[in-house]
Structure 1
Amino acid sequence: MKKKKLIIGIIITIVVIIIIAVSAFFLIIPSVKPFNTDKPNVSFVINTKENFNDVLNDLSEKNIIKDKNLIEMYTSVTGKPSLMPGQYTINSKVTVKQFLNILKDQKTITVVIPEGYTVNQIAGIFDKIGMFSKQDFINAVNNYKLPEFIKPVQGRKYQLEGYLFPTTYAFKKGESVNTVIETMINTFVAELDASIKETGVKITPAQINETVTKASIIEKEAKTPEQMKNVSSVIDNRLKANMPLQMDDTVLYSMDKLGENVTKVYDKDLKTQSPYNTYLNKGLPIGPICNPGKQAIEAALKPNNTKYLYYILTSNHSFFTDNFKDFTAEKNKVIN
């Protein structure tokens, strides 16, 4: 009898310990901070066909979360959140519970459009996150009724290229493609107005296309604000001197290769027949070659006051000059 009571006592003790351990687990885990980073925010993309486990595995492989197993154990009891495709930016200091609630309560899709992306690249982003197919977005861009300040120009790849402002957007689930395009154009208008006020440079509606086309080249050719202002001055100085701009990125756009990590433009590429090719055609190209950001627009509006006509820009080298001989010598140094 005593032995039986002892066994029962041991079993009860074990059960109590298990209950306490499980309770402690589910009390502690929600307050654990899951992200393994010193950065203020964590950004990641959830694609259309991904489930919660796929996302956890991806974040774990990228060393963004500390321990996916703890989160998997917790959600196996509490339930896994249903996910909305999109780009997420979450404060890195949130707890596990807050992280799961953000995923569960997400009613908007966050979309990040990088500066300098083309219409084709933007279409690829929307396709990747499942809002629209790439072709549906491109079709909508081609069929969109142009606002008054955008005049149609025959021969352009996309009439809206340059006017889909690159920034972070939060779109409602199920938002129509035309509403998305309208939002991006309205953002462009607001940012252009802000840039005009900040630079103090006024332009007429007729000068908007020229400004945006110039800014699009600056966006692709330069990286820093100072480089952008210098490239802007080179463009102006070459136009005044009736020199061809000879900007490589206009050639890449002509070849539908802009944004494809092409590291070299060959002599044969420079002969590509296109109204965008500034090696074959003097003046600005027929239209923008990408969608520029605010810094590039401001550089287009207000360039540095220089006599520069040539430049060399690499990932770690910046050189501007008004002398072709100096340019050639510097180019040979960089190549060799």
Structure 2
Amino acid sequence: MRKVGCFGLIIGLAAVVALFLVVQGWGGAGPAPRALAVQVPQGASLAAAAVELEKAGAIRSATRFRLYARVFGSGDPIKAGEYQIPAHASQSDILKLMQGGKVVQRLVVVPEGYPSVLVHDALMKAEGLTGTVPVPAEGSILPDSYAFERGDTRAAVVAQMQSAMKTYLAKAWAARKPGIAVSTPQQAIILASIVEKETGKPSERRTVAAVYGNRLRNGMPLQADPTVIYPITKGRPLGRRILRSELHAKNGYNTYAEAGLPIGPIANPGRASIDAVLNPAQTKALYFVADGTGGHVFANTLEEHNANVKKWYAIRKARGEM
């Protein structure tokens, strides 16, 4: 009887140890020495996902993972996508991660005032996107950060960017101030793109927009340097001073050579610049020039403006820029 009792005790202890090992294998630290990226294809089963996890080194055995998932898991379906598996993640945590669909979110960032050639560069460089796209129409992209998953197409991301611009512009146009200088949403985007390139100071945007609006009403040329540069570089940095011949070039964009708005936007303006054009400041100013601090000084008359220009030249001379 004593031998039977000892044998039963050994069996019991073995069962406890086996259960401990199973639980530890499911909830204990996994084999991955560092964070791993694992792609679960669209429509993949748990078995197919387990194979990918084993290949990546996130789990030791795809067979055991499936078995443990059936016994200890919730039974919820897994979701496709790219997953970042933390170092030494347990099999339990990995299953929860895939069932929760917490996939890696990648971003394409479009800063305010980015020209479309640079948006295109960013899209083509974005790791994980597929396919090719032409350079988007200038002014059609709303600057923002756009999330995507590995395998998404560049065309889909561009469509998302352009849809965001259409939605925002429609809302902003509906709330526009009466009597503004632009008469269509497209004109608003064109002028907003100039405002975007002329000042990076948020407090000035509405005043800069008002100056250009006043000049448009008076039939004066806008005389915005960025409109001279755009047809030369399509928005990329010029890297030198504007040539006198370029100031006189008639190409549809140059606002020194022709009055009125350019034939199209010169960048993709952000929300703040669009809002500034549709709700400009109350001012009679017709001129502005840099003030040496990153902002501008505004003037109602040419005489005042010329005096401000003299001060700006003196600042530049003192800095050794002239």
- TM exceeding 0.5: yes
Question: Conserved in 1, the CA contact under 8 Å of 2:35 and 2:87?
Answer: no
Pick from 110, 116, 119 the counterpart of residue 119 of structure 1.
Answer: 116
**1-side partners of 2:241 and 2:293: how far apart?**
14
Q: Aligned to 2:284, what secondary structure does the other structure show?
A: coil
Equivalence for 1:320: 298
Pick from 215, 221, 243 the counterpart of residue 266 of structure 1.
Answer: 243
What are the Cα deviations for residues 271-312 of structure 1, in whole angstroms up to 9, with x where unaligned?
233111111111000011100000000011011121111101
**2-side partners of 1:241 and 1:206: how far apart?**
15
Post-superposition shift, 1:315? Answer: 4.8
Pick from 133, 138, 142 the counterpart of residue 134 of structure 2.
Answer: 138
Q: Aligned to 1:121, what secondary structure does the other structure show?
A: helix
1:332 aligns to 2:310 (yes or no): yes
Pick from 120, 124, 129 the counterpart of residue 126 of structure 2.
Answer: 129
1:302-321 correspondence to structure 2 within 5 Å:
302-313=279-290, 315-321=293-299
Question: Conserved in 2, the CA contact under 8 Å of 1:251 and 1:269?
Answer: yes
**2-side partners of 1:301 and 1:97: how far apart?**
54
1:81 aligns to 2:59 (yes or no): no
Question: Conserved in 2, the CA contact under 8 Å of 1:126 and 1:132?
Answer: no
**2-side partners of 1:282 and 1:309: how far apart?**
14
**1-side partners of 2:201 and 2:88: how far apart?**
40
Q: Which runs of 5+ in 1 are unaligned?
A: 1-29, 31-75, 85-94, 142-159
Equivalence for 1:35: none
Percent of aligned pairs sharing the same letter: 29
Pick from 208, 211, 227 the counterpart of residue 234 of structure 1.
Answer: 211
Post-superposition shift, 1:230? Answer: 1.1
Letter paired with 1:125: A
Letter paired with 1:329: A
Alpha carbons of 1:83 and 1:128: their partners in 2 closer, same or farther (altered >3 Å)? Answer: farther
Question: Conserved in 2, the CA contact under 8 Å of 1:250 and 1:278?
Answer: yes
Alpha carbons of 1:83 and 1:306: their partners in 2 closer, same or farther (altered >3 Å)? Answer: farther
Post-superposition shift, 1:170? Answer: 0.4
Pick from 250, 261, 277 the counterpart of residue 300 of structure 1.
Answer: 277
The number of aligned residues is 229
Equivalence for 2:14: none
Post-superposition shift, 1:97? Answer: 8.6
What are the Cα deviations for residues 107-152 of structure 1, in whole angstroms up to 9, with x where unaligned?
332111001011101011112223368xx4326x3xxxxxxxxxxx
Q: Aligned to 1:320, what secondary structure does the other structure show?
A: strand
Alpha carbons of 1:321 and 1:202: their partners in 2 closer, same or farther (altered >3 Å)? Answer: closer
Equivalence for 2:262: 285
Equivalence for 1:207: 184
- Quote the RMSD (CA, aligned, Å): 3.4
TM-score (norm 1): 0.59
Alpha carbons of 1:161 and 1:315: their partners in 2 closer, same or farther (altered >3 Å)? Answer: farther
Question: Conserved in 2, the CA contact under 8 Å of 1:120 and 1:138?
Answer: no
Question: Conserved in 2, the CA contact under 8 Å of 1:119 and 1:138?
Answer: no
Post-superposition shift, 1:233? Answer: 1.1
Equivalence for 2:193: 216
What are the Cα deviations for residues 77-115 of structure 1, in whole angstroms up to 9, with x where unaligned?
61452499xxxxxxxxxx9999xx99xx75332111001
**2-side partners of 1:212 and 1:183: how far apart?**
18
Q: Which has the larger radius of gyration?
A: 2
Equivalence for 2:104: 107
**2-side partners of 1:263 and 1:226: how far apart?**
28
Equivalence for 1:14: none
Question: Conserved in 1, the CA contact under 8 Å of 2:117 and 2:235?
Answer: no
